[in-house]
Amino acid sequence: MEDLTNITDEELRRIIQMVRTIDDVDLGQLQPVILRHRVWRFAMLQGFESASKLVEKLVTDRSLIHIFLQKISVPTTELFRDAEFWNELETIINEKLSIERFIKIWVPDICGDDELNSLLVILSRNNLLHKATIYATSPFQQVIDNSKESYIDPKKFETSEANFKRIHSDNTLLPYLERLEKNYKFSPALLDKVIFLKQCVSTDPPPDKGFNLILFRNRCLYYNPTTRRTALEKIGQSLMPGGYLALGFGENLDETDQQVLLTQASKTEKIYKKKQ
């Protein structure tokens, strides 16, 4: 593993303060080891000899902070990653949510976002997009802008297609994409159904309330314990009775009030249902 010991607590504090001042984003919500890794990775990619050199440059060059914020989030890797989860979620959507007159969905802290796009494919192929209101939020404006475009390189498409065929062997993702010269682009017809908002899940009010489904997988892993509890409390409170919350395989509701308000709705996946 890379040596992160040269990134001091003081350097991290300076970066957090600069970003908070310039862009109103609190990187202090991340676990220190995660933030150290991302700072180190950015420093190496930009050719800095050390984190201290990066900090010195950030102090004098504010434009570099915006580049840093573009790269600080870790994008998800492909559509329908963890095919078993998506198969289970599609079953719940078809059996439980399809009977609702309207479906309200929130995807907080997007990062790319293949989670959002996978969800859009499910809603589209099951003819549910017309009655769904979908919010996608992130504290990073650049992430939101990238998600509105959703370009997919050919290698990523091949992996995504293989994932999708594990669920629906006789189908393809091509109807949901536009073929460009060197890559693919997710269909604007689907992305136009999404309300994109700049919002921090742990500090800002939710974009709405009474959600039928909140997709929040593999995000809490990066938060410090306080931020993780706060985010999960807000998310749980935003669910309507009978609504569903999807977390990542290694995540849970421990140490939150939500663990007594939500029950696990799947035997194999971290999908929870709010008690009626």
For the entire predicted model, the pTM comes to 0.82
How sure is the predictor about 268, in pLDDT bands with cuts at 50, 70 and 90? Answer: very high
Q: Is the pLDDT of residue 8 over 50?
A: yes
Q: Average pLDDT, stretch 88-113?
A: 94
Residues 42, 110: one domain?
no
Residues 102, 67: one domain?
no
Please identify, among 37, 53, 72, the residue that sits at the C-terminal boundary of a domain: 72
How sure is the predictor about 1, in pLDDT bands with cuts at 50, 70 and 90? Answer: very low
Q: Which two tokens stand for residue 111?
A: 């990062």
Domain for residue 2, yes or no? no
What's the pLDDT tens digit per position in 180-203?
Answer: 988 899 999 999 999 999 999 999
Residues 52, 144: one domain?
no
**Full domain range(s) for residue 15:** 9-72
Domain for residue 200, yes or no? yes
Residues 195, 257: one domain?
yes
Give me the number of domains the chain comprises: 2
Q: From 102, 106, 137, select the one nearest 119 (Cα to Cα).
A: 106
Helix intervals (H) in 31-153: 32-45, 51-60, 62-72, 83-92, 114-125, 141-149
CA 29 to chain centre: 15
Domain for residue 1, yes or no? no
Residues 35, 144: one domain?
no
Phi, psi (rounded to 5 degrees) for 251: -115, 160
Residues 214, 98: one domain?
yes
Q: Average pLDDT, stretch 60-67?
A: 77
DSSP for 47-75 reads: T-SSHHHHHHHHHH-HHHHHHHHHHHS--
Q: Indicate the range of 108-117, 205-214, 237-246 predicted with least confidence.
A: 108-117
Percent of the residues in the chain that have a pLDDT greater than 90, as a whole number: 54
When computed from its CA atoms, the radius of gyration of the chain, rounded to whole angstroms, is: 19
pLDDT at site 17? 83
How sure is the predictor about 42, in pLDDT bands with cuts at 50, 70 and 90? Answer: confident
123: helix, strand or coil: helix
Residues 37, 168: one domain?
no
